[in-house]
Structure 1
Amino acid sequence: MAEWFKVGKIVNTHGVRGEVRVISSTDFVEERYTVGTELMIKDESGNQEVVVVRHHRPHKNFDLLQFEGYHSINDVERYKGSTLYVSEEYLEELEENEFYYHEIIGCTVVTESGDELGKVKEIFATGANDVWVIQRLGGGKDVLLPYIEDVVKVIDVENKMIQVHVLEGLLE
């Protein structure tokens, strides 16, 4: 059975022709929402349904999707609040030192001196570089780490461990 990875959340409908508004939490957005790609919609009750992307377009801070066979707002209204997933079969091999978000999220982040900061809980694509949200050990305010060479030194996805160099002012 294929493994499924989260790619976004349906937050609303858009217009009357069956489009849904998605806040994406995935890398390679264009590939994830290519026409013909199968996505799984899972609602808060755990019900799930596989749909096929008919149309995709970016709109403001959202991705607008329309699925095969869904042509009206009435067809997609029930999906508000649901989560979208993509099957591992749609993931392509990456170059060396490239990683999928699902490989990074959940990794333990340690400093060069071995102090544990916490775990990566979310990733934001900002344009210039990604920003990793680190949930601190024992609570406290989340740390925002830029994914740049000066900060991220070692990524070991097999052991779910990331070593970082903490720049001055980064933890304040």
Structure 2
Amino acid sequence: MKKEECFYLGKIVKKYSFKGELLAKLDTDEPDLYDNLDAIFIDLRGNLVPFFIESSQLHKSDLLRLKFEDVNDEADADALLKTELYLPLELLPKLEGDKFYFHEVIGFNIKDQNFGNVGIITGINDSTAQSLFEIDRDGIEILIPMNDEFIVKVDRENKTIVVNTPEGLIDLYLEE
């Protein structure tokens, strides 16, 4: 399984017991979707390694308490601390309407209601307080905030996102 075929679920943050149990901080708004998993991939030195889950339960709402098969003591658990957890993309719940996963809209076309065709989404920058669409318009990078008020429609069938940005925002990138 390659990392590109998976999504980041969270990170193992601490040990829970002397029996090898671990606590993982999940990167999701709905942690209860992931408390009945059979297996999970753990990133060990750049390789995704499957681990089978003996038992799991939600712990204090945003943590998942995990007991893996063959992880039976503190030494085994120590080796997994701070590792990242991944699951195959097909396990992501399907989103409806104007909600989308970042990876799913790469390659989509962006159209602005006033400006017209803007370009193709090449990436999502989520390192800032406000996530941004990174759009390529004939070699010029345009950044548009992923603001619910700007997103008019997500058209999965035609791979297009229609936005309504403040007047002049797109022109800022195109002025010489």
- TM-score exceeds 0.5: yes
1:42·1:48 contact (CA, 8 Å) conserved in 2?
yes
1:119 shift after superposition: 3.7
Q: Which residue of 2 aligns with 1:13?
A: 14
Once the two structures are superposed, what CA deviation does each residue of 1:141-160 show, in whole Å capped at 9, x if it has no partner?
A: 965422x2x32122233554
Q: Distance in 2 between matches of 1:114 and 1:48?
A: 43
Change (3 A) 1:82 1:152: same
Task: Indicate the RMSD between aligned Cα atoms, in angstroms.
Answer: 4.2
1:134 partnered with 2:133: yes
Change (3 A) 1:30 1:107: farther
Q: Which residue of 2 aligns with 1:57?
A: 59
Q: Distance in 1 between matches of 2:168 and 2:12?
A: 35
Change (3 A) 1:4 1:119: closer
Q: Which residue of 1 aligns with 2:155?
A: 156
Aligned residue identity for 1:84: L
Q: Which residue of 1 aligns with 2:67?
A: 67
Q: Distance in 2 between matches of 1:43 and 1:139?
A: 37
Change (3 A) 1:99 1:141: closer
Q: Distance in 2 between matches of 1:118 and 1:92?
A: 22
**SS of equivalent to 1:79:** coil
**SS of equivalent to 2:6:** strand
**SS of equivalent to 2:79:** helix
Q: Distance in 2 between matches of 1:29 and 1:122?
A: 24
Q: Which residue of 2 aligns with 1:166?
A: 165
Change (3 A) 1:158 1:86: farther
Unmatched tracts of structure 2, length 5 or more: none
**SS of equivalent to 1:114:** strand
Change (3 A) 1:36 1:108: closer
Count of aligned residue pairs for this structure pair: 159
1:100 shift after superposition: 5.2
Q: Which residue of 2 aligns with 1:84?
A: 85
Among all aligned residue pairs of Structure 1 and Structure 2, give the percentage whose two residues are the same amino acid: 16
1:136 shift after superposition: 5.1
Q: Which residue of 2 aligns with 1:114?
A: 117
Change (3 A) 1:40 1:99: farther
Unmatched tracts of structure 1, length 5 or more: none
Once the two structures are superposed, what CA deviation does each residue of 1:126-146 show, in whole Å capped at 9, x if it has no partner?
A: 9xxxx6432354797965422
Q: Distance in 2 between matches of 1:83 and 1:4?
A: 15
1:20 shift after superposition: 3.3
Change (3 A) 1:4 1:21: same
**SS of equivalent to 1:35:** coil
